[in-house]
């Protein structure tokens, strides 16, 4: 469960870093 959580958290962080800047640029 620890490995799964660490992987999901890493993927989530990458998705947030990628999606947030894109949405910010599109918003502007």
Q: Which residues of the chain register pLDDT less than 50?
A: none
pLDDT value at residue 10: 73
The H-assigned helical ranges of 1-28 are: 2-27
Question: What is the rounded CA–CA span in Å between residue 6 and residue 20?
Answer: 21
């Amino acid at each position: 469960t620890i490995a799964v959580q660490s992987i999901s958290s890493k993927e989530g962080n990458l998705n947030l870093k990628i999606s947030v800047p894109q949405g910010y640029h599109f918003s502007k």
